[in-house]
């Protein structure tokens, strides 16, 4: 069922991209799009470095906050807030993994002011006839890895990203339709009490 879902999402992405802009989206337009995304919610499918597939719901509240709620049978929860990323396994007795948000390439699109024209941030900017792909890194800390984002047009829409972390692992997130705008409670991004946030 999971494989069927990712194939279906891939077909949907291809159809959306086919009717998209016929030229590469400029970095300035993509930066403006990301800066204008204050809140967003949608479904996602995640392809992990070991080939396994997970699904769930993503909540974004820029700047600096994101939440990944995974569907069963997965028991994970990832929350970013207060400049920290915390990875929980709700069925594990082990303490959660914690590390600075600045050490993940996802911090690039969660920044208060996204500027993809910043020197040495973008290492790739291409168009394959259907989507614009931008590869970006922290110019001061390239050792933390990079994020490869896919956008369709003519008005930019984020469809997918691939995170290549500093340890050599790769995680792909395919986004469903993002519902942008509206209010998301700050408690969703409270990195200290995930149990109280179960929906």
- Give residue-wise pLDDT tens across range 130-173: 999 999 999 999 999 999 999 998 999 999 999 998 888 999 99
Burial class of residue 97, CB neighbours in 10 A (0-12, 13-18, 19+)? exposed
Residue from 155, 176, 149 nearest 20 by CA: 155
Do the beta carbons of residue 45 and residue 6 sit within 8 Å? yes
Range in 17-21, 73-77, 108-112, 123-127 with the lowest mean pLDDT: 17-21
pLDDT of residue 48: 92
CA 183 to chain centre: 19
- For residue 182, give every residue at least 6 positions away whose Cβ sits within 8 Å of its Cβ, in sequence order, or none: 39, 41
| Cα–Cα distance measured from residue 77 to residue 175, given in angstroms and rounded to the nearest whole number | 17
- Which pLDDT band holds residue 22 (cuts at 50, 70, 90)? low
User: What are the structural domains of the chain?
Assistant: 2-192 (2.50.20.10)
Residue from 115, 158, 159 nearest 138 by CA: 115
Element (H, E) at 170: strand 170-175
| Cα–Cα distance measured from residue 169 to residue 49, given in angstroms and rounded to the nearest whole number | 6
CA 71 to chain centre: 17
Do the beta carbons of residue 146 and residue 162 sit within 8 Å? no
| Cα–Cα distance measured from residue 109 to residue 40, given in angstroms and rounded to the nearest whole number | 13
Q: Where are the alpha helices (DSSP H) in 19-87?
A: 27-36
Q: Is 31 helix (H, G, I), strand (E, B) or coil?
A: helix
Question: Residue 78's beta-bridge partner residues?
Answer: 68, 87
For residues 86-103, average pLDDT: 88
- For residue 81, give every residue at least 6 positions away whose Cβ sits within 8 Å of its Cβ, in sequence order, or none: 64, 65, 186, 189, 190, 191
For residues 180-199, average pLDDT: 77
Angle at 138 between CA 102 and CA 168, to 5 degrees: 85
Please determine, for residue 60, whether its predicted confidence score (pLDDT) is greater than 70: yes
Whether this model's pTM surpasses 0.95: no
Please determine, for residue 188, whether its predicted confidence score (pLDDT) is greater than 70: yes
């Amino acid at each position: 069922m999971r494989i069927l879902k990712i194939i279906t999402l891939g077909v949907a992405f291809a159809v959306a991209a086919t009717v998209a802009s016929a030229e590469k989206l400029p970095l300035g337009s993509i930066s403006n799009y990301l800066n204008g995304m204050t809140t967003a919610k949608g479904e996602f499918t995640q392809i992990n470095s070991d080939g396994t597939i997970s699904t769930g719901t993503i909540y974004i509240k820029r700047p600096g906050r994101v939440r990944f709620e995974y569907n069963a049978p997965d028991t994970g929860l990832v929350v970013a807030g207060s400049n920290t990323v915390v990875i929980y396994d709700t069925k594990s007795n082990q303490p959660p993994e914690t590390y600075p948000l600045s050490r993940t390439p996802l911090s690039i699109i969660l920044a208060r002011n996204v500027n993809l024209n910043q020197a040495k941030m973008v290492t790739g900017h291409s168009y394959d006839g259907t989507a614009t792909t931008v590869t970006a890194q922290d110019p001061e800390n390239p050792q933390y890895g990079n994020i490869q984002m896919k956008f369709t047009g003519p008005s930019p829409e984020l469809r997918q990203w691939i995170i290549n972390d500093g340890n050599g692992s790769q995680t792909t997130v395919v986004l469903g339709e993002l519902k942008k705008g509206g209010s998301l409670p700050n408690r969703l991004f409270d990195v200290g009490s995930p149990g109280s946030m179960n929906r």
